[in-house]
Structure 1
């Protein structure tokens, strides 16, 4: 073969091969496009899985720490207006029992004097009753008896004279007027004797009405003692219950103000008062576990819900970092801290805390 023929044949073979390759590439490309379209269509028509939002696992709220039974502000009785403290027998941190004397007001000495005066009035009334029951003095009775004896003697003389004058009048020796004058003297003597005897009986008699009068006076005097003692007791301020003195507001010499004399609380058991938003109230139940945190605490506290509030109100605990609507309303829920957590915050009454109440999944 000539070289020209061989070159021409090689050129035709090369062109044929290129065409085959081009056709194969086109077929592969078409198959790829078809496969992509089918896959895309399947993915488009495939149902998408439902997106489920994760359920809330906790209710959060703001709260404050306080002793169980709340903090009590101890005031003097309402009847002791404008009272000043004369003596204070406790200090901050002291433990007191129910009924223990805490302070004495400055009106105590005056009221103590009133009690003593009333007691003396009772003694006077009792002495007067004894005097009435004993009757008249023996000397007075003897003097009255002597007076009666003298008057009886005069009466006897008058009777003798009346008898003599009557005989003379019968004989016509004297006039009727003379006899009448003597008879009247005898009658006057008789009246004097009768009056003296009545006076003696009055002195010797103990009348029930007099006894009743002085008995009533004794009862009245004793009632005044009870009243004076009650007013005296109001001058001593006593603890309404057992607890610890949290803070003293009024010291000796100072007038009791709007904060009272002192604050008292049972810090042996502390609680957290959590303010639950009204939209979350239905999620809260008795016995749920709560976790309490605060920057002031070195570790989280733990407790359980022990009491649910009965009314909705405005919050008392505010979050300075929150832009919560001022119309927010909450319900107070009390969380009883466990013993260890209670011990940690025994000296942190009114500390603001963050509360997280765990919910069932």
Structure 2
């Protein structure tokens, strides 16, 4: 028997109402495939352009990502990628930017470097009593820079030593005057003894005549002889005493020698006190300009010294060239120096090349920068015009480009 529902539906007209009939259960309905493969080149091109733009311009989001992760652009290669020349911070990143050129980090310094003026030896506990110069003053060798508070005590030492010298001079004068007086006294005693001896001889001659005539006794004659003999001995004794003073014998010379030695010792003490007085002042060791003052009146100078002094009449640049490139640098190579703070380019030539390989000292604040690079110092002498423009920028960090093409 036929199904009444099937026969009834067969008689109904077929009309399209825009709705798809639901698929029977157990059968998956398939969708038409769209052309996706055509978008792949466009996506790859967009990613490439975006990566190049991001590395070149480094937008804030990308820079924040690098700072957070500690990564640097191109750190996995030998040559940095999209790092501006002015931001090169380590000697490993210094590159040969063109054939014959070497780029290095440097700093501007006065000729002969910056001198930190310290207190004199032995004045480490002294404080600053007065400063006689200011920043920018030009000084000559030996000029007074500062006065320390130990000066009153040292001045007292000089006064005491000078007074001692005067005492010793008076003592020597007294010794010499004593010798002179003793000499005169000895001469007077000799003269008196000679007169007495002459009188004794006269009495002896008369007594002898009286004894021969029997007028005097033997006892009286012997007494006259004794007086004459004693007078003669007095003459010899006083003559010897006078001779000792005239020839400055050992004992007399010793008195004067002691006085002279005491005087010389006092003069030495005075000279030492005068030298010690220099510990109360600070003087310029060479000609130069005061670049900075590190202490104020009443302070005790520390390891930074009292002030910084430099000869800004001739400025130089100290460049740190990476050890693998130093062999290409020669004396006389032309150099150009640039920095953001400079108005234009500074020009100069290589004046000296260091003889020792040391550790890099010019670095940036990049935490990923290598601070243990091995470098050689190269001193660049700036020409007069560049030196005059650079004299206000001591210790300014610069980019130094050395043209080594002529030396190759």
Question: Which of the five TM-score ranges fits, normalised by the shorter chain?
Answer: 0.5 to 0.7
> How far does residue 335 in structure 1 lie from its aligned partner after superposition?
1.7
State whether residues 135 and 293 of structure 2, in contact with CA within 8 Å, keep that contact through their aligned partners in structure 1.
Answer: yes
TM-score, normalised via structure 2 length? 0.59
Confirm or deny that 1:97 pairs with 2:140. Answer: yes
Mapped to 1, the partners of 2:374 and 2:155 lie a distance apart of 51
Confirm or deny that 1:120 pairs with 2:166. Answer: yes
RCO comparison, higher one (Cα < 8 Å, 6+):
1
State whether residues 157 and 273 of structure 2, in contact with CA within 8 Å, keep that contact through their aligned partners in structure 1.
Answer: yes
Confirm or deny that 1:342 pairs with 2:387. Answer: yes
Confirm or deny that 1:274 pairs with 2:319. Answer: yes
Q: Do the aligned partners of residues 79 and 308 (structure 1) sit closer, same or farther apart at CA in structure 2, a change above 3 Å counting?
A: same
> How far does residue 244 in structure 1 lie from its aligned partner after superposition?
0.2
User: Which residue is equivalent to 2:69?
Assistant: none
Mapped to 2, the partners of 1:188 and 1:180 lie a distance apart of 12
Confirm or deny that 1:70 pairs with 2:116. Answer: no
2:289 counterpart (240, 244, 258): 244
State whether residues 137 and 289 of structure 2, in contact with CA within 8 Å, keep that contact through their aligned partners in structure 1.
Answer: yes
2:237 counterpart (183, 189, 195): 195
Q: Please show how residues 279-294 of structure 1 align to structure 2 within 5 Å.
A: 279-294=324-339
Q: Do the aligned partners of residues 310 and 154 (structure 1) sit closer, same or farther apart at CA in structure 2, a change above 3 Å counting?
A: same
User: Which residue is equivalent to 2:364?
Assistant: 319
3-state SS of paired residue (1:279): coil
> How far does residue 312 in structure 1 lie from its aligned partner after superposition?
0.6
Mapped to 2, the partners of 1:86 and 1:195 lie a distance apart of 68
Confirm or deny that 1:207 pairs with 2:260. Answer: no
Q: Between Structure 1 and Structure 2, how many residues are aligned? A: 304
Deviations 1:308-346 (A, max 9, x none): 111110011112237343431111111222333322331
3-state SS of paired residue (2:159): helix
Q: Do the aligned partners of residues 139 and 172 (structure 1) sit closer, same or farther apart at CA in structure 2, a change above 3 Å counting?
A: closer
Mapped to 1, the partners of 2:303 and 2:401 lie a distance apart of 35
Mapped to 1, the partners of 2:355 and 2:207 lie a distance apart of 105
Q: Do the aligned partners of residues 208 and 192 (structure 1) sit closer, same or farther apart at CA in structure 2, a change above 3 Å counting?
A: closer
Which has the greater radius of gyration?
1
TM-score, normalised via structure 1 length? 0.65
Mapped to 1, the partners of 2:184 and 2:308 lie a distance apart of 68
Deviations 1:17-71 (A, max 9, x none): xxxxxxxxxxxxxxxxxxxxxxxxxxxxxxxxxxxxx984132222111111101
Mapped to 1, the partners of 2:336 and 2:367 lie a distance apart of 20
User: Which residue is equivalent to 1:110?
Assistant: 156
Q: Please show how residues 289-300 of structure 1 align to structure 2 within 5 Å.
A: 289-300=334-345
- Which segments of 5 or more consecutive residues in structure 1 lack a partner in the other structure? 1-53
Mapped to 2, the partners of 1:117 and 1:81 lie a distance apart of 28
Mapped to 1, the partners of 2:347 and 2:242 lie a distance apart of 92
Mapped to 2, the partners of 1:286 and 1:262 lie a distance apart of 33
